[in-house]
A = this chain, B = another copy of it.
């Protein structure tokens, strides 16, 4: 299997991306196509042992930077690594594309280059979010592709989340929760109140509305929300976790006995860190576009990008695009939502 990687994407590109490609090629037996500026990639590859690994360079002379306006950049930079990578997927030369670059840019490049799955109104960006369930995480979408959503989009996000959780994450009959301000159906925004009856009427395992605290508590396997709320939610969670770690460090450092205690407890802290580490899952799929696209955190190091490549492999192996397309046809959720439910 060939996976295309945006060698120029992310805060630590190209070093982290090239390192990740070497790592993933070795661990997962993949061909990793390094898309980007050849000279820079070659210079990085020289730092690694690559004997026996298949790491072709696919030249792309331009880079979409983090601060650029996504749609404008994608339109004007025809030879950007993201654009070239999407074309590889479109032509069937890559099973998936992975990028830690400007996520709006990846979204725009995917929409221009691959388009949407027939019947899907909007793609959704997703993440694996840690929780206290035995499984250890849920699947949360949308986390930023659509800052203003309509009820029928959220219904489709739920459907796509169901298929991804079932097929790729191996969750049986995943519990779908709609993020809201209370469990009661009369709570929440107008959007939530319009989505609730659509989800109830759908064939999905909809367990009702869940609150912010219910997500880490593991009440739902798939959490559906609009891209604005989802984005604020995951970044808030990241910030809170970081604040807790910093404050605890500060309190420990102020107390000599606590410093000793923290040393003794270090393996427990490390285990906790691994459990909450976004790098373990590497990246989230951009669902609804006509190809497998995985978006990794801009801050990703080589380990995170290596794992994002693993996620891409799994999604491609399970043919998530075909599964969603079939699921959409079977559930009739590609019809205008109001007609579909009544």
Give A contacts to B, CB under 8 Å.
Answer: 67, 69, 130-132, 144, 147-148, 179-181, 184, 186-190, 192, 211-217, 225, 227-229, 231-244, 246-248, 251-252, 254-255, 257-258, 260-269, 271-272, 275-276
Contacts and interface: CB of A to CB of B under 8 A. Distances in A.
A69 to B, nearest CB: 7
Closest 3 CB pairs of A and B: A261-B264, A212-B235, A261-B265
Chain A at the B interface: mostly helix, strand, loop or mixed? Answer: helix
Contacts of A147: 181, 187-190, 192
Contact of A254 (B215, B238, B268): B268
Contact of A236 (B144, B233, B248, B262): B233
Nearest to A217: B239
A251 B132 CA distance: 12
27 contacts: A148-B189, A179-B232, A180-B232, A188-B228, A212-B234, A212-B235, A212-B238, A213-B238, A213-B242, A214-B239, A217-B243, A233-B233, A233-B236, A236-B236, A236-B237, A240-B240, A241-B244, A244-B244, A244-B272, A244-B276, A247-B272, A247-B275, A248-B269, A251-B268, A251-B271, A262-B265, A265-B265
Contacts of A213: 235-236, 238-239, 242
B239 A215 contact: yes
Contacts of A186: 69
Contacts of A233: 212, 232-233, 236
Q: Which of A180, A217, A241, A248 has the most CB of B within 10 A?
A: A248
Q: Which of A227, A244, A246 has the most CB of B within 10 A?
A: A244
